[in-house]
Every structure is written in structure tokens, then in C-alpha cells.
Amino acid sequence: MDASTLYYMDDGTANVRKFVCSKREFREKRYMDNKNRVKRPRAITREGCKAMMMVMKIDSGKWVIRKFVKDHNHLLAKPGEVQYLRSCKKMTNTAQHIIDTYTNAGLRPCLIMAVLSQEAGGSDNLAFADRHCQNHIAKSREKIFEKGYLKLVLEYFRNMQFENPAFFYAMQVDENGHLSRIFWADARSRMNYQIFGDVVVFDSTYVTNKYRMPFASFTGVNHHHQSVLFGCALLVDQSEESFVWLFKTWLQAKSGHHPTFIITD
């Protein structure tokens, strides 16, 4: 059984609990035509399965089974697929702590999952999948950048721009008001790019900062063969959307001047 429903008495205590299959009923019609709702429509998983179990608490305080339907109208998940069921997608506090520790040390999610899989004796023995690890890391980053922090960052950049109008910054927030992307370049960085910006080295592999956000840098080499900074950014993730926003903002900061070459990992 994948989902459950509680029924409460007037005093707020639960006296009936119903466990149902994840493929119960059918998807509502208003969610069937979802081409205009999301970029990647979810697969239809409801098949009208009637398998269920209802338990009730009696006067003695014990729970007894009042109704049970064992037959499913679909194939059951294989042992190796159990971890992908909603009821099995549980990440313990210990696992979350280990993931946070490895993330702070600079390990990527794929390496973290490789370590956890090895310790568990195989990925089939883990109670969560790769995407659950990535979701936990993303949520941890979002908690750090709350509206209060956003205000402090905005005030700092405004002060920097007030002292020198050539200072450039841009930031983006998500639907919850959390800071998700920041780019900035001071006057010296923008001047260096005008002179030495033919070849740009873009690196987004720095993830060891305490905010667990990938740090992206644009650098180059001056006429003394010294490294110079053209601009930098903090991103909530390394998704295509983040990089598209970053490079568009980068060109805006550089007045649309494209480099001749870009070197990256």
C-alpha cells in the first residue's frame, strides 16, 4: 500500500485509517490535458486499483482490520523497484546528515550516491534514489537564502553601485522569494574584460562554500600572464535554466561583447 487516509473523531483523535494503492482511482479530467500546465507532463499512473485495507480503533485501544481487498488490477513492483514507490521514499535524519556533510566537503550528488550505495551493499538497498538526494541538497540551499538574507545582499550591492556606478549586479529569486542566482562584476573586472576579454575561462566546479551553492567564475589572462577576474556568480543549481540566465546576464554586463573563445570544463 502506498498512501493512507486518516479519519478523526470530534476530540481530534484518529479512529479509522485507510491504506490504498498508489494506482487507486483515475486522474481527474482537469489534469489530463496538461500540455499547457507544465513543461514535462507527468506520466499517468492511476489505473483504478481497488486494493485497500481499512483499520479501526476499538474501545480497548487496539486497531483491528475492518475491510481488506488484496487483489490489484496491475502488476506489482519488482523487489529492485520498491525504492521508487512513494511509501518507500524515506530519507532518514542520518542519511540527510551524511549528505550534508559530503556536500560541504565538495562532493557532487553522483559521488555521494556512489558512496552511500557502496556502504548499503548496492543501490537496491537504499531507501531513496538519486533524485531524492538532489532534491534534499536543493532544499537545503533554498533554506539558506530566505527573504532576510536577500535584503542584506541587495543592500550591499546597492551600496557598492552607489560608490561606483560601474559596479554591475543582477539577481533572481524563485516563486517563494528565495534568492536563487546572483551575478556581479566590479568596475575593474569590466575594464579588464574590455582589454583582455578575447579568451574567457568559465569554471563552475567550485561547490565547497558554506552555502553549498556552485560558485561560477569568469577569468582571463592579462599582458603580464596574470589571471584576472571578469565576473562571478552563485547559483542554486547547475541546471540549463541557471546557465542560460547566467550567460545572458554576463553579456548584459559586458554590453553585448562576445568573447572570441570560451574555455570550460
Average pLDDT rounded to a whole number, residues 149-172: 86
Query: Would the pLDDT of 129 be above 80?
Result: no
Q: Which pLDDT score, from 0 to 100, does residue 89 have?
A: 63
Domain final position from 112, 144, 176: 144
Same domain, 187 and 113: no
Provide the pLDDT for residue 33. 61
> Quick one: 120 and 195 in the same domain?
no
Residues 41 and 96 in one domain: no
pLDDT at 7 over 80: no
**Domain shared by 253 and 151, yes or no:** yes
- Span 219-245, mean pLDDT? 87
pLDDT tops 90 at residue 113: no
Q: For Cα atoms 27, 32, 35, give the angle at the middle one, nearest 5 degrees.
A: 145
Instruction: Give mean pLDDT, residues 95-106.
Output: 78
pLDDT for the residue numbered 93: 78
Q: Which H or E run contains 244?
A: helix 240-253
On whether both 156 and 96 belong to a single domain, the answer is: no
Asked which of 29-43, 152-166, 208-222 is least confident by mean pLDDT, the reply is 29-43
* pLDDT at res. 79: 67
Q: What percent of the chain has pLDDT over 70?
A: 72
- 135 plus 238 within the same structural domain: no
How many percent of the chain have pLDDT more than 90?
14
Same domain, 72 and 84: no
pLDDT band at 117; cut points 50, 70, 90: confident
Q: How far is CA 198 from CA 185, 229, 259, 262, in A?
A: 17, 13, 5, 9
pLDDT of residue 219: 92
Q: What is the span of the domain harbouring residue 170?
A: 147-264
DSSP, collapsed to helix, strand or coil, labels residue 175 as coil
Are 93 and 101 contacting, i.e. CB atoms less than 8 angstroms apart?
no
Mean pLDDT of the chain: 78
Indicate the pLDDT class of residue 101, thresholds 50, 70 and 90: confident
Q: How many domains does the chain contain in total?
A: 3
Residues 139 and 69 in one domain: no
The whole-model pTM stands at 0.48
Q: How confident is the model at residue 30 (pLDDT cuts 50, 70, 90)?
A: low
- The per-residue pLDDT for 34 is 55
d(CA 211, CA 143): 10
* Cell output for 257: 561583447
Per-residue pLDDT tens over the stretch 186-206: 999 999 998 898 899 998 877
Closest CA to 77 of 23, 132, 135: 23
Q: Are residues 130 and 184 in the same domain?
A: no
Whether 173 and 258 map to the same domain: the answer is yes
113 and 172 together in one domain: no
pLDDT for position 148: 55
Q: What is the mean pLDDT of residues 145-162?
A: 76
Domain boundary among 45, 76, 107: 76
Q: Which of 44, 76, 108 is the last residue of a domain?
A: 76
Q: Each residue of 165-183: pLDDT tens digit? A: 999 999 887 766 667 788 9
Same domain, yes or no: 66 and 167: no
Instruction: Output the pLDDT for position 82.
Output: 65
